[in-house]
Amino acid sequence: MSFEKLATGAVFAQGLALLSLSAAHANVILTYTGNNFTGFDAPYTGNDKVTASITLANPLGDNLNLVSVTPLAFTLMDGVQTFTNASPPLITTFEFSTNAMGEITGWVVNAFLTSNSQNFIQTVDTSVSVRDFAGMGPPVVHGIIDGHPGSWVEQSAAVPEPPTVSVLGAGLLGLGLFWWRRRQKLDLAQ
C-alpha cells in the first residue's frame, strides 16, 4: 500500500471523526433571590422569600422588552412550596426585559397550579408592579413583599465538547479500519 493512499485514508477518517462531533454550547442559568416577605400568613414567615432557578438554552438578548422565553428547566420556591418543570400541570409565564448589555432590568415570572389557581408563586418587576407574591389554599394564605425587588444572577453552564483524545482515537480507529479493509482486498487479490 502506498503512503499516499494511507495518508488519504487517515485524513478521510479524521474528517469523519470531526464531522461526527456535536458543537459545544453553553446553557444559561438565571438565579433569582428575592427579599424576605414583609406580609404573610402562616405557614409563611418573615424568613420566607421567592427564589428561582431558570435554565435557558441561550443567553437573553440585548434590549428586550418583556419578551417571553421557554426554559429548558426551572425551579420556583417560596419557602413553603416548590414548583418545577416536572411538577403537576402548571400555567407558567417567563418574560424578561434587558438593557443594552443583556442584563435583566424587568421580569414577570409566574407559576400557577392549573388544578387550583390559589397555589402560585410569582415575581414581578415592571413599570406597573414590583412584588414577590406567593399563596396557597384553601384557606388562602400568602407571603408578599411589595416594592423591593430581588436580584438576578446569570451564569453559564458550559456543555463540554468531546476531549481531543476522543477525536484522535476516533481518527485512529478509522485509519485502522481503512488499513484492515485495504489489507483484506489485497489478500483476496492474491
Question: pLDDT digits over 126-159, tens only?
Answer: 989 999 999 998 888 999 999 999 999 999 876 5
Other CB atoms within 10 Å distance of the CB of residue 85: 15
Q: Are residues 13 and 42 part of one domain?
A: no
Q: Are residues 177 and 110 part of one domain?
A: no
- pTM (predicted TM-score): 0.71
Q: Are residues 122 and 88 part of one domain?
A: yes
Q: Which residue has the cell 483484506?
A: 184
Res. 34: pLDDT tops 80: yes
Q: What is the pLDDT of residue 1?
A: 56
Alpha-carbon gap, residue 18 to 24, rounded angstroms = 13
| Domain count along the chain | 2
Q: Are residues 167 and 149 part of one domain?
A: no
Res. 46: pLDDT tops 60: yes
Q: Are residues 67 and 54 part of one domain?
A: yes
| Domain of residue 85, residue span | 25-159
